[in-house]
Amino acid sequence: MAHNMSQLNELIEITRDGQHFYQHAMEAVKDVELQHLFRDLAQAKTHVIQALSVKVAANQEQPAQGGTTAGKLREVYADTKARLSDPDAVYVDQLDQAEERILGAFEDALKTAEPDVRALLAIELPKLRACHARIHALNHRDEGR
């Protein structure tokens, strides 16, 4: 069970990266619709983090409180790139990639998790897929034209 709690804490950290990145991007973009979308997606991440944290705490473990270095580096990269081109497009693209990282981590964890953790991940995964679909569609909206 300790492995599963460690795995859940890693997922909390990766999801928190996404949450922080959305909050950061929300302040960096000027487009009001993007700000609203980013707020909604940050909130979705908050709900996932809470669900995972409850499971970790229920197993007498301490839920992860921070994010990852990779997540912070992605924000710094996006900030730098945004100064050189269209900030809205840069943040949408980088958030799309962050969503892919989160989704991949959850799907990988689902393969090795014990049944009770797998059940929790199965509940949270559709929420993450929906977040990914929203930002991915926005990021690739002009490709079909």
Query: For the whole model, what pTM was predicted?
Result: 0.92
In this model, does residue 38 exceed pLDDT 70? yes
The residue among 67 and 22 whose pLDDT is bigger is 22
Q: Which domains does the chain have, with CATH numbers?
A: 2-139 (1.20.1260.10)
Per-residue pLDDT averaged across 115-129, rounded?
Answer: 94
Determine the pLDDT at residue 68. Answer: 86
The secondary structure of 102-135, three-state, reads HHHHHHHHHHHCCHHHHHHHHHHHHHHHHHHHHH
In the structure encoding, which two tokens stand for residue 83, read together? 């100064």
pLDDT single digits (tens) 69-110: 888 888 888 989 988 989 999 999 999 999 999 999 999 999
Closest listed residue to residue 102, CA positions, set 80, 81, 127: 127
Per-residue pLDDT averaged across 47-70, rounded?
Answer: 93
In this model, does residue 122 exceed pLDDT 70? yes
Determine the pLDDT at residue 104. Answer: 96
In this model, does residue 133 exceed pLDDT 60? yes
In this model, does residue 42 exceed pLDDT 90? yes
